[in-house]
Amino acid sequence: MFVATCVITLELEGVRSLKEKRSIVKSVITRLQREFNLSVAEVDRQDAWGTAVIGLAAVGNDKAHLHRLLEKSVAWVESQRPDAPIADYSIEFL
């Protein structure tokens, strides 16, 4: 069994309030959960307006499949959410 995690840092330029940030982050989290069947949560920088850090996790028996799944998730955010560009991301296996 493998546990794969991904941490994505989003730059939210132009966001002027935590309410606006929460709206964007909640939308991204909900869509990632629905599209890729992942566990997703905001994991850091909750009080910063211009940055969001979200964590993704998946469990499976094929390490390559999990890596592809997380890479596809990152690519989805890049292509579908131009309002939340990715500043950095990392994938790890536990």
Read off the pLDDT of residues 47-81 as tens digits, 9 standing for 90 and up: 888 899 999 999 999 999 999 999 999 999 999 98
Say how far apart CA 8 and CA 55 lie, in whole Å: 6
Side-by-side strand order, sheet with 2-11: 39-44, 51-60, 2-11, 86-93
Region of 38 (left: φ > 0; alpha: ψ -120 to 50; beta: rest) is beta
| pLDDT value, residue 58 | 97
Give the pLDDT band of residue 83 (cuts 50, 70, 90).
confident
Pick the more confident residue, 79 or 46: 79
Other beta carbons within 10 Å of 54:
22
pLDDT at 88 over 90: yes
What domains, with CATH codes, occur in the chain? 2-93 (3.30.70.1120)
Give SS3 for 40: strand
Read off the pLDDT of residues 20-43 as tens digits, 9 standing for 90 and up: 999 999 999 999 999 999 999 999
Roughly how many angstroms between the first and final C-alpha of the chain, as a whole number?
10
| pLDDT value, residue 73 | 96
Give the pLDDT band of residue 14 (cuts 50, 70, 90).
confident
Say how far apart CA 26 and CA 51 lie, in whole Å: 14
